[in-house]
Amino acid sequence: MSHAYMPRSEKIWLAIGGFSLFVFLVVLGILAFGMGMNPPGHMRTIAPEAVHTTSPFQEPKLVQTGPNTYKATMVAQMFSFVPNELSIPVGSTVHFELTSPDVVHGLFIPNTNVNIMVIPGHITEFTYTFHSKGDYLILCHEYCGAGHHLMMGRLLVQ
């Protein structure tokens, strides 16, 4: 079959598909390289190799910043969160501040909308108020290597 028959309508759809892909890639290229766009929330940067020696990430911890507010400075690394256990009173607002010294990780807390991507070189921030008591799981939801499934923590809201 040297001359396979292709209906005209199929050729038109192929052309539309190819053109859409081309437009998409051009727009993506302009946004990423031309405008230097980054994922949202990554306003500050940090050298991945300096994470363990730069404040506040050299001593990542949960600190109370007001009557109902906390700041959780955390490092997501292969294959753990530091710290990996947090405890707060119900109704607290937690301002998360995270970075990674190695590869891309995630911080996901099921049953909340805490869903953070942690990218080496960037400091990701996210704020959430915990209105319900519970024993929440903290999970890494970006595949980060052989120990990815072991990467978890716990958040107690009492």
**Contacts with Cu ion, residue ranges (CB under 5 A):** 105, 140, 144, 151
Q: Tell me how far, at minimum, the Cβ of 102 lies from Cu ion, in Å.
A: 9
Nearer Cβ to Cu ion, position 89 or 110?
110
Nearer Cβ to Cu ion, position 89 or 145?
145
Nearer Cβ to Cu ion, position 46 or 103?
103
Nearer Cβ to Cu ion, position 101 or 157?
101
Q: Tell me how far, at minimum, the Cβ of 150 lies from Cu ion, in Å.
A: 9
- 60: Cα within 13 Å, side-chain hemisphere: 24
What does the CA dihedral 41, 108, 130, 60 come to, rounded to 10 degrees? Answer: -70
DSSP label at residue 17:
H
User: Which residues have CB under 8 Å from 59's CB, separation 6+?
Assistant: 73
List the structure tokens of 107.
């911080």
- Which H helix or E strand runs over 47? none
Q: Tell me how far, at minimum, the Cβ of 140 lies from Cu ion, in Å.
A: 3
Q: Tell me how far, at minimum, the Cβ of 138 lies from Cu ion, in Å.
A: 11
Nearer Cβ to Cu ion, position 6 or 146?
146
**From CA 83, how far away is CA 73, in angstroms rounded?**
8
Q: Tell me how far, at minimum, the Cβ of 93 lies from Cu ion, in Å.
A: 25
**What is the CB neighbour count within 10 angstroms for residue 27?**
10
**From CA 108, how far away is CA 112, in angstroms rounded?**
8
